[in-house]
Amino acid sequence: MTVNYKSVFDIIGPIMIGPSSSHTAGACAIGRAANSIFQETPTDIVVHYYESFAQTHKGHGTDYAIISGILGFEPDDSRVPYAIGLARDQGINITFIEEPEDSPINHPNTAIIELTNSKDGKKVTVAGCSIGGGTIEIRGIKMNGFDIKPKGPLPILLVPGSEVDQQNVTDQLTALTKVNEKKQYQSAKGDLFEYDLDRRLKPEEVKELAKNNTNLVYL
């Protein structure tokens, strides 16, 4: 069964800078997911807000929280409130848009992040929602010509490569945890597999997986 809250520390925690777990810590987590997917520093950040996020992002510090995540900060990093200034100092262009319509991924706390690097033309889009207490879901990712639509709950592992290439990934994952769902995506650049995992992996376990699959994304 896929549940969102897999750890007692999702409930007692996270330790964070106030004021809102869903609009600050959760926003930071959506930014961190985008950072993990993009894997480089963007030149342009565009954030689209929907519903509750559109109405209350200013009051909750959602703007700096999301940028802090894109810069790779943890939610209790003392630099979180200063993230926008820090990003602009690096020459990053930032735009926030309050969208009037309902969330395209059906959740009141929705942010869709577009990251672009104008130097190499790289672009990704990440659609995330903050479901409470700092926990998030990722329901849409556009990268490398793939249009990935996960169910939502983390952790999610994305591994490019053919079905044959995936055998060692499957073997390694089976030894670690249950795979709740495995989905295949195709683009002009080849195949990509999405694995929805039953438990969060430890950093050293992700490192081990990355040894044979340097382009994997772990969310």
Partner 1 sequence: MYMSVAELVDAAKKTKKPIYELVIEQEMDTSHNTREEIWDAMGRNLDIMAAAVKKGAEGEGVFSKTGLTGGEAVKIKNYRSAKKTLSGDLMMQAVQNAVSTNEVNSSMGVICATPTAGSSGTLPGVIFTLKDRLDLTRDQMIQFLFTAGGFGMVLANNAGIAGATGGCQAEVGSASAMGAAAAVELAGGTPEQSAEALAMAISNLLGLVCDPVAGLVELPCVKRNAIGVGNALISADMALAGCTNKIPADEVVAAMDKVGKGLPSTLRETGLGGLAATPTGVRMKEKIFGKAVDAKA
Binding residue for partner 1 (CB under 8 A) from 30, 131, 156, 216? 131
CB nearer to partner 1: give 52 or 116. 52
> Is position 1 an interface residue for partner 1 (rule: CB under 8 A)?
yes
Decide: is 103 part of the binding site for partner 1 (CB under 8 A).
no
Nearest partner of 198 among 164, 169, 174, judged by Cα: 174
**Of 40, 90, 97, 132, which lies in the binding site for partner 1, with binding defined by CB under 8 A?**
132
133 lines the binding site for partner 1 (CB under 8 A): yes
Cβ atoms within 10 A of the Cβ of 47, count? 25
Q: Closest separation between CB of residue 11 and partner 1, Å?
A: 4
The H-or-E segment that residue 37 falls in is helix 26-38
- φ, ψ dihedrals at 208, nearest 5°: -65, -45
Would you count residue 200 as binding partner 1 (CB under 8 A)? Answer: yes
Which one of the spans 20-28, 41-49, 166-174, 185-193 is the region binding partner 1 (CB under 8 A)?
20-28
**CA triple 193-30-152, angle to 5 deg:** 45
CA 69 and chain centroid, separation: 9
Instruction: By CB under 8 A, tell whether 25 contacts partner 1.
Output: yes
Q: Which residues contact 135 (CB under 8 A, 6 or more apart)?
A: 4, 5, 10, 26, 29
C-alpha torsion sign, points 72, 68, 43, 49: positive
If binding is defined by CB under 8 A, does position 55 make contact with partner 1? yes
Q: Does 104 bind partner 1 (CB under 8 A)?
A: no
**Interface region with partner 1, contact rule CB under 8 A, candidates 112-120, 125-133, 163-171, 206-214:** 125-133
Its sign, for the CA torsion 148, 150, 154, 159, is negative
Residue 154 binding partner 1, by CB under 8 A: no
> Does residue number 161 form part of the binding site for partner 1 (CB under 8 A)?
no
Give CA torsion, residues 163, 151, 197, 206, to 10 deg.
80
Tell me the number of residues near partner 1 by CB under 8 A.
47
Residues that bind partner 1 (CB under 8 A): 1, 3-25, 51-52, 55-56, 58-61, 76, 81, 98, 107-109, 130-135, 199-200, 202
